[in-house]
Structure 1
Amino acid sequence: MASPGKKAFPLRIDPALWAELQRLAANDLRSVNAEIEFLLREALARRGIKVQPPARGADDAGDGGDPP
């Protein structure tokens, strides 16, 4: 299930590419989804487009932020 505030969509991807994404994600201690987001932001930055990453823990319930 998608995190609140994030757009979910199906992605068809070549199995060899998926395997490389899994390897990269594991090396960076990220999920494959987070790795794909990272790589997309990196590609956009190379084109001069800056997209702010979400605040850490913004999608997590009980993230240790302000009490209710």
Structure 2
Amino acid sequence: MKDFPKIETGLVNAGKVTEIAGFLMVFTVPVLVLYADGREYIREARIVQVEKLRADVSKVYEGFFGE
């Protein structure tokens, strides 16, 4: 996420905050979810292809920040 400095990141342990799994409809872990303006743009679960994730995040980032 160093390439996207305007994106704030957070980590939630679904084992400790069990309500989050239901709220975000998470049925497996790990899950990476990108929200912007209250809308979900990206969701990747289990096996995450890093280059695909980077490309997807880059598209969203460019759309919001023009960079």
Q: Which has the higher contact order (CA 8 A, sep 6+)?
A: 1
Greater strand fraction, Structure 1 or Structure 2: 2
- Relative to the length of structure 2, the TM-score reads 0.30
Higher alpha-carbon Rg: 1
- Relative to the length of structure 1, the TM-score reads 0.30
Greater helix fraction, Structure 1 or Structure 2: 1
